[in-house]
A and B are shown apart, each in its own frame.
Chain A
């Protein structure tokens, strides 16, 4: 089955700790995205990548970092600089440009701070 997987489903972070969220897709899509979702708000773009070894900051990139070493994988690191990381994180991919193509979403990772 083709799709996007995210792991873990729940993640707990201690103060001052970096944590990494995994996102893998087997849809052969070029573009991948990370969104943050808070209650009562829409999705806000953290980072996106249109091609391997290249990525761009979204609207709320501060305190986050990404890498895109493989087409299938786009991990997100939430660093200690992100002071309010508690949220639901969604990874997505699309065959081309997000502005005109359908995005396919993973099931999400809920990050909680201890």
Chain B
């Protein structure tokens, strides 16, 4: 069965510190992997996605993610967070075998300490 696990419900990081949000997935075929961000009371916006090629993917707002097939992981990173990065982050998995839909993780809420 397809699934996504985000083990951290809530993370607090100091402004200027580095960030890593964890995502593990289960998918029977070649996965398409996504990270979305949601500001409070808003819709979701795509940060980045991976489907093939270089396993280190660059996204918007200075975020990057690394696909590790052996670990079934797609962790999101940022070298230095800004107060505006406070939001909820969702990892998602899809692919051609589930072409009509993607599966979202339960999300990680990021707070920034001044």
Contact = CB atoms under 8 A, between A and B. Distances in A.
28 contacts: A4-B43, A31-B100, A40-B107, A42-B4, A42-B90, A42-B104, A42-B105, A43-B90, A43-B104, A48-B100, A58-B101, A97-B99, A97-B100, A98-B94, A98-B102, A99-B32, A99-B94, A100-B32, A100-B51, A100-B94, A100-B95, A102-B34, A102-B49, A103-B44, A105-B44, A106-B43, A107-B42, A107-B43
A45 B92 CA distance: 13
Interface of A: 4, 31, 33, 40-45, 48, 50, 56, 58, 90, 92, 97-100, 102-103, 105-108, 110
A56 B102 contact: no
Interface of B: 4, 9, 32, 34, 36, 41-46, 49, 51, 90, 94-107
Given A42-B103, A107-B43, 17 more contacts: A31-B100, A41-B107, A42-B4, A43-B90, A48-B101, A50-B100, A99-B95, A99-B98, A99-B100, A100-B32, A100-B94, A102-B46, A102-B49, A105-B36, A106-B43, A107-B41, A108-B42
Interface centre among A45, A48, A97, A110 (most CB of B within 10 A): A97
A90 B98 contact: no
